[in-house]
Amino acid sequence: MTEATIAVGHVSHDHGPPKGIVRWLTTTNHKDIGTMYLVFSLAMFLLGGAFALVIRSELFQPGLQLVDPAFFNQMTTMHALVMVFGAVMPATVGLANWMIPLQIGAADMALPRMNLFSFWLLAFAFLLLLSTFFVPGGAPASGWTLYPPLVLQTGQAFPMAIFAIHLMGASSIMGAINVIVTIVNMRAPGMTLLRMPLFSWSWLITAYLLIAVMPVFAGAVTMLLTDYFFDTSFFNAAGGGDPVLYQHIFWFFGHPEVYIMILPAFGIVSEVIQTFARKAIFGYETMVYAIASIAFLSFIVWAHHMFTVGMPLAGQLFFTLATMLIAVPTGLKIFNWTTTLWRGSLSFEPPMLFSLAFLFLFTIGGFSGLMLAIVPADFQYHDTYFVVAHFHYVLVPGSIFAIMSAVYYWLPKWTGHMYDMRLATWHFWLSAVFVNVLFFPQHFLGLAGMQRRVPDYATQFADWNMVSSIGGFGFGLSQLLFVWVIVQCVRGGARATAIVWEAPTGLEWTVPSPAPYHTFVKPPEVR
């Protein structure tokens, strides 16, 4: 890839990037930074996946075989933190870096140096977070939600984890500012907001969510920090505080956070479905408004994560209704995607396969979400494997399938090569089958009474846990195929044309493949 981009750089009469490692350390190019984010995210995806396999190995059969309960809790905590902040979010940021300037006809991101800074902040944040495995007391083990008072029992990892979260937050906020400034100021002439591709739209809204909630999270963990070191008692009843206060603040961040992970996925799926249905998205404007209303509603549903803390009746009813309302714009999106398929001309390349699987499996996650919103039933579901199944359905075949769809969709544009479609199709079918073997039985486990975050379980849960673990290993190993397809594609392969697919729409397909180091130095005219 390096050679290819430099060669094209020469054609366009500029000096191109420096060679070797210096290029990656000093680059302010949106494409290079996008690539770094994506590679980082892939590495974290594999690492977080390895943690998940430790979890699934221990749960393969009842009894403790491999790890101690304390280490098991470190695994569940770090799996979640790595997947949320290291894999899914950076992947969408990487896609944003690569694609937003190309989609709106801008030469680069608006704030390139800040862009680089936010990447390296993230990298150092993870260095800090992962190094907690080697300090006395081990990594944080209180769940990624970091509820006090339990989190205050963390050993020396505690301040390190908090500072890592601060750094990640700063990095995300800078990334978000960059997206907003770029989209607001750098659209090509004629690229009005309501002509903008849906991926860029979804990111614009995501960026506002990030700016709104990351500081809230930073505030919450800072209060934990002062509780730990300076006895401030924000969350300690003995000092006049309240542990539940933390949960309210956390989920005020946490709920928008889950939409931060899914909204870019909505954007991706919209792009991919139009291309492979050979038909423009049905109800473009309603799709935009639907994303915006989901974003708004995400701020007023947080307490549905904590119905069991004992809330006033009116509060429970409010959060039930607000949560159910989210199903309306989400359902609208599902129906509009289905209508986009309707009377289209469908073909089933790997990106389309992943997006179609998203459509089905995300919807399953939506149904279980609807069930969880009903408070009386939630009193049974809460903190069981039913919840684990629910959020993995919306995150794995939801966000992550959409990200894979995006990678298969734009990879030829990035590398200039076509990838091995046959292998990628294999990757899809293996992932799609195993992800269900992995997560579907977890619904049954939860309903049968198995609670979350336990290293061991009563013997009646043995069968479905074994099935789920087999699915876990199958899914995990299938991802090696993903890595292989990407590596192969970066190294070589059939030349990709500028449009790559049959008739994709969007400015990114007007530049050659691979996209030259500098694109749209002169803004294109959009009509």
Partner 1 sequence: MPEGVSELSREIYGMHMIMFWICLVIAFFTFGAMIYAMVRFRKSKGAVADQTLLHNARLEAAWTVIPVLILIAMAIPSVDKLIKIEDTSGSGLTVKVTGHQWYWQYEYLDTGVSFYSRLARTSDLARRKGSGIDPATVENYLLEVDKPMVIPTGVKVRLLLTSNDVIHAWWVPDFGMKRDAIPGFINEMWISVDADKPGTYRGVCAELCGADHGFMPIVVEAKPRAEFDTWLTQQGAAAAVARTE
- Asked whether position 429 contacts partner 1 by CB under 8 A, the answer is no
Contact yes or no for 407/45 (Cβ under 8 A) = no
Per-residue DSSP letter, 397: I
Of the two residues 33 and 361, which places its CB atom closer to partner 1 in the complex? 361
Active-site residue (options: 31, 305, 427, 443)? 305
Smallest distance from partner 1 to CB 197, Å: 15
- Asked whether position 278 contacts partner 1 by CB under 8 A, the answer is yes
Restricted to residues 441-480, the positions that interact with partner 1 (CB under 8 A) are: 447-449, 451-459, 462
Structural tokens at position 90: 């950076």
Distance (Å) of CA 289 to CA 41, 201, 293, 328: 29, 10, 6, 12
Of the two residues 100 and 198, which places its CB atom closer to partner 1 in the complex? 198
Of the two residues 11 and 238, which places its CB atom closer to partner 1 in the complex? 238
Active-site residue (options: 23, 248, 278, 452)? 452
Restricted to residues 13-72, the positions that interact with partner 1 (CB under 8 A) are: 62-65, 67-70
Pick one of 309, 477, 487, 521: the residue that binds partner 1 (CB under 8 A): 309
Active-site residue (options: 5, 118, 171, 298)? 171
Distance (Å, whole) CA 30 – CA 5: 13
Restricted to residues 189-208, the positions that interact with partner 1 (CB under 8 A) are: none
- Asked whether position 11 contacts partner 1 by CB under 8 A, the answer is no
Pick one of 283, 476, 493, 523: the residue that binds partner 1 (CB under 8 A): 283
Distance (Å) of CA 416 to CA 215, 292, 424, 516: 39, 34, 17, 10
Contact yes or no for 180/208 (Cβ under 8 A) = yes
- Asked whether position 334 contacts partner 1 by CB under 8 A, the answer is yes
Site stretch for partner 1 (CB under 8 A), options 28-36, 79-87, 205-213, 282-290: 282-290
- Centre a 10 Å sphere on the Cβ of residue 439 and count the other Cβ atoms it contains: 26
Smallest distance from partner 1 to CB 439, Å: 16
Smallest distance from partner 1 to CB 331, Å: 5
- Asked whether position 237 contacts partner 1 by CB under 8 A, the answer is yes
Q: Is 452 a catalytic residue?
A: yes
Distance (Å) of CA 1 to CA 259, 451, 506, 517: 33, 48, 23, 11
Pick one of 332, 418, 437, 499: the residue that binds partner 1 (CB under 8 A): 332
Smallest distance from partner 1 to CB 37, Å: 31
Q: Is 390 a catalytic residue?
A: no
Restricted to residues 112-141, the positions that interact with partner 1 (CB under 8 A) are: 141
Restricted to residues 213-232, the positions that interact with partner 1 (CB under 8 A) are: none
Of the two residues 12 and 153, which places its CB atom closer to partner 1 in the complex? 153
Of the two residues 67 and 181, which places its CB atom closer to partner 1 in the complex? 67
Contact yes or no for 247/309 (Cβ under 8 A) = yes
Of the two residues 428 and 482, which places its CB atom closer to partner 1 in the complex? 428
Smallest distance from partner 1 to CB 297, Å: 13
Smallest distance from partner 1 to CB 483, Å: 29
Smallest distance from partner 1 to CB 374, Å: 5
Restricted to residues 355-414, the positions that interact with partner 1 (CB under 8 A) are: 356, 359-360, 363-364, 367, 370-371, 374-377, 379-380, 382-384
Restricted to residues 69-108, the positions that interact with partner 1 (CB under 8 A) are: 69-70, 73
Distance of CA 60 to the CA centre of its chain: 27
Looking up tokens 């339990």, which residue turns up?
150
- Centre a 10 Å sphere on the Cβ of residue 44 and count the other Cβ atoms it contains: 24
Nearest to 117 by CA among 228, 4, 33: 33
Of the two residues 367 and 429, which places its CB atom closer to partner 1 in the complex? 367
Q: Is 333 a catalytic residue?
A: yes
Smallest distance from partner 1 to CB 149, Å: 5
Smallest distance from partner 1 to CB 98, Å: 28
Q: Is 172 a catalytic residue?
A: yes
Which residue blocks in 144-197 are alpha helix, DSSP H? 157-185
- Asked whether position 421 contacts partner 1 by CB under 8 A, the answer is no
Q: Is 305 a catalytic residue?
A: yes
Nearest to 267 by CA among 378, 76, 410: 410
Distance (Å, whole) CA 180 – CA 176: 6
Residue type, 78: M
Q: Is 108 a catalytic residue?
A: yes
Nearest to 33 by CA among 110, 100, 101, 112: 112
Structural tokens at position 258: 């889950």
Residue type, 35: T
- Centre a 10 Å sphere on the Cβ of residue 117 and count the other Cβ atoms it contains: 16
3-state secondary structure of 523: coil
Site stretch for partner 1 (CB under 8 A), options 10-18, 20-28, 161-169, 341-349: 341-349
Smallest distance from partner 1 to CB 77, Å: 9
Q: Is 405 a catalytic residue?
A: no
Distance (Å) of CA 112 to CA 180, 204, 469: 13, 17, 43
Q: Is 10 a catalytic residue?
A: no
DSSP secondary structure string for all residues of 424-479: HHHHHHHHHHHHHHHHHHHHHHHHHTPBSS-S---GGGHHHHHHHHHHHHHHHHHH
Distance of CA 511 to the CA centre of its chain: 28
Contact yes or no for 88/400 (Cβ under 8 A) = yes
Restricted to residues 139-178, the positions that interact with partner 1 (CB under 8 A) are: 141-143, 147, 149-150, 153
Known catalytic residues?
79, 108, 144, 171-172, 255, 257, 259, 270, 304-305, 330, 333, 452
